[in-house]
Amino acid sequence: MALALAATTSYVYGADTAPTWLDNTISPVSNPIFFEDPKITSEVRPVYMYHSLPDTFYFNGGHVPLGGKVQVMAVQLRYAVNDRLAIIATKDGYIEFQPSQTLGHKYGWGDLAAGLKYAVINDTDKDLIVSPGLTITIPTGSTEVYMGHGSGEWNAFVSAEKGFGNLHFTANAGLRLPNNLAEQSAQIHYSAQVDYYLCQYLIPFFAANGYTVLNNGHRNIVEGVPLNTELYDLINSGSTGAAGTTQFTVGGGIRSRLAKNVDVGVAYEAGIVDPVGIFDSRVTADVIWRF
């Protein structure tokens, strides 16, 4: 589908257009499902995540041994209908859930999420772009990897980026709102990134991502365990004791522009709020091909 759309695209970021401040900006690497780039682009983006689980998983004063890893392999798609509007597909892929103990190894497909974003502000004189958007997650995934539950989830968000020469600030905030609030948790998510364009091959960045849980659900990743943490960006567990909690990660990484329309990136982030739930650390890598 992406290749067919490429033949008719009317707007391509950074290709055959007059140079602007956006040419030296980069897309976020961390939190790829919810930290949406405000730029309007047509692109294919393979993403790989290696998520390390903590050795001990704390909940409500108790703990269970855990450890191990979660691996995610996915492909995101974005299509610029014009220079303001883009169709975005932000979640899919194959998940390997491999804790060292307790839960057992599980494999399966993730849920699907797609939607739209629209650049309401794209001011090249002020080096500013602001794009609200909306996606919906459809519970099509495998229950073996804790997908396919609930009645779907909406994500209303706004992303913005401001440039100061080669220094750029990107931010995103949104509301995850399940169709069934009795089963899954509503959450506010927020992300920020600062990057500096040294040269096309070396663009370092620092990023932070947070989630605040607004309500308890009635479904847990471990049956009978009253979890007091949600499962960040990948899984909405519907934890029964997470309302009012905030989870936060910080990290950084590097992007490199291998060609005018090809970026690669890698990011490392770690949980910093105690307890960190199931977020010990994560490495995210991606390739972005814009057409």
Give the tens place of pLDDT for each residue, 32-80: 999 999 999 999 999 999 999 887 766 555 666 678 899 999 999 999 9
* pLDDT tens profile 187-200: 999 999 999 999 99
Please give the average per-residue pLDDT across 265-281, as a whole number.
Answer: 85
* Model pLDDT, residue 57: 67
Is-contact 72 95, C-beta < 8 A?
yes
Q: What is the tens place of the pLDDT at every residue in 99-125?
A: 886 667 899 999 999 999 999 999 999
- Whether 12 shows a pLDDT value over 50: the answer reads no
- DSSP-derived 3-state class of residue 24: helix
* Residue 96, beta-bridge partner list: 71, 107
Strands (E), the chain: 43-52, 56-59, 62-65, 68-80, 85-91, 94-99, 106-109, 112-118, 121-123, 128-138, 153-164, 167-178, 187-196, 203-213, 246-259, 262-271, 281-290
Determine the Cα–Cα distance for residues 220 and 193; give it in Å rounded to an integer: 31
What pLDDT sits at residue 11? 38
pLDDT confidence of residue 67: 80
Secondary structure of residue 144 in the 3-state scheme: helix
C-alpha closest to that of 205 among 270, 269, 268, 253: 253
Inform me whether the pLDDT recorded for 224 exceeds 70. Answer: no
CA geometry: angle at 128 spanning 127 and 133, to 5°?
Answer: 150
Please give the radius of gyration of the chain, using alpha carbons only, rounded to the nearest integer. 19
Checking if the pLDDT of 261 tops 90, the result is: yes
What domains lie within the chain, and their CATH numbers? 2-290 (2.40.160.40)
Q: By C-alpha distance, which of 131, 113, 109 is closest to 122?
A: 131
Residue 221 has pLDDT above 80, yes or no: no
Q: Alpha-carbon distance 161 to 224, whole Å?
A: 43
Task: Give the predicted TM-score (pTM) of the model.
Answer: 0.89
Q: Is the pLDDT score of 22 beyond 60?
A: yes
pLDDT at residue 229 above 80? no
